[in-house]
Structure 1
Amino acid sequence: MGSHASRTSTLPPDNGQARLLPQPIPYHLMEQIRRAIILGQHPPGGALREQALQAEYGCSRGPIREALHLLERRGLVTHAPRHGFRVRQVDAAEVRQLYELRALLERHVVEGLVGRITPALLSELRAVNALMGRHRDAGDVERYIEANIAFHATLRAHAPNDPLERAMQVIYEVGEPLRHALLVRSLRTSRATEEHEAIIALLAEGRVADAAAAMHAHVFTGMPAALETVAEAAGRDPA
């Protein structure tokens, strides 16, 4: 995979020029390992052996260990004394809990749009949803997920709620590997864009309560397939 060279991140412009500063190595490694987890290169329940990761990324153990601890705090990795780090493996009960909590939170996001529906919001939602449809037609799972996340982020941006935003970030992060695994199997048959269109139409009519109920139902659409994906993963003997 990637090297351990520092990645750059863009900061706010300074006198009209964007300044680029190196990203600390542990954070760069965290992003690389996170991506590998999401793509299934490190399967749920699989061991994340520090020595193997050192060899893969060509760096010392300290930054690797710090990166793994960062991933642990983000909910993607677990750690137990004498057993080391492993990719977090969710079971059926946790999947249901994640879907139930996300459905409630996403519903609350839409409910927060009362008095805040504007032509700009509707235009943004339509544009990002159309992008989702194009990525689905192209079979591009990663870009489809990015556009889907952007759709929901657009809703939150028009009804700012910092505690809600923080909670949503945790929910999305923990569920990201499962979301990717699910869509690898079912992207072509996903109906999310059509369900989004129905929500946008309700918002355009000012029917916020109905749009919130539609969002709640929309979140649960993928739960049966997610439970099936988790059941199949549980049948695999982790490394």
Structure 2
Amino acid sequence: MSPGDLGLVLKPFIFLDLVNFDARHGQTRFGMHPHSGIATLTFMAQGDVRYADSTGQAGVLPEGGVEWMQAGGGVWHTGEPVGEQPGQGFQLWVALPAALESAPAFSRYLAPSEVPRVGPVRVLLGRYGAVHSAVEAPSAMTFLAVTLAQGERWRYTPPAGHTVAWVAVASGRLLAGEPIATGELVSFAPSETAIDFIAGTDTRFVLGSAVPHPHPLVMGTYSVHTSADALDRGETEIRRIRQSLRAAGQLA
């Protein structure tokens, strides 16, 4: 999913990447790069990642942890694998509403113990049943990581107004009216109807649902805003931060 294709249909969810890396082969995937107008959520299903960002935060995001980077008016961040264990995770981009797209950037890094669990579900963003994520969603949306054993069934009932829904499989095989294989993303027809899942094998997947994002997507290279003016402000701030990082020796 990217802002120029499925992101137009599934907004506020506008980008999803299933990230696989192996430190033994120098695969970092997350060099220092900027964003504005969006928030990114990185969930590490396997492996640890060392992170740093231009808000001044740095550390290690352990397996099962979550990085929330609300880029707002502009931010730079980076990450690299720790140790020799191969890693896998999802990075999601979320379009911010107009009131937040130019706000100061902030980040939050959650240890695995801070990510709520309900049965097979980890609540990465939003709410599931009576459980809320530790990170406040910028608009009405839910993002879940789910692990099912072979043959296990699970039903997801979207909250009221969540007519956008999709699922992406990290490993295994899932049935949701049709088979969904490893690496595939499937979007569902606009509806608030419950969705039933059956695991064809041991399966790990993520699911998103939301109230539709009402704004257009105005795109830059790493930025997505609701207007050309907001995009211009974001890219100006990105250039300013780049100069500061270079002056500090943190960026080539």
- TM-score bracket, shorter-length normalisation: under 0.3
User: For the pair shown, which has the larger CA radius of gyration, 1 or 2?
Assistant: 1
Q: TM-score, normalised by structure 2?
A: 0.25
Q: TM-score, normalised by structure 1?
A: 0.26
Between the two structures, name the one with larger relative contact order (CA 8 Å, sep ≥ 6): 1
Higher fraction of strand: 2
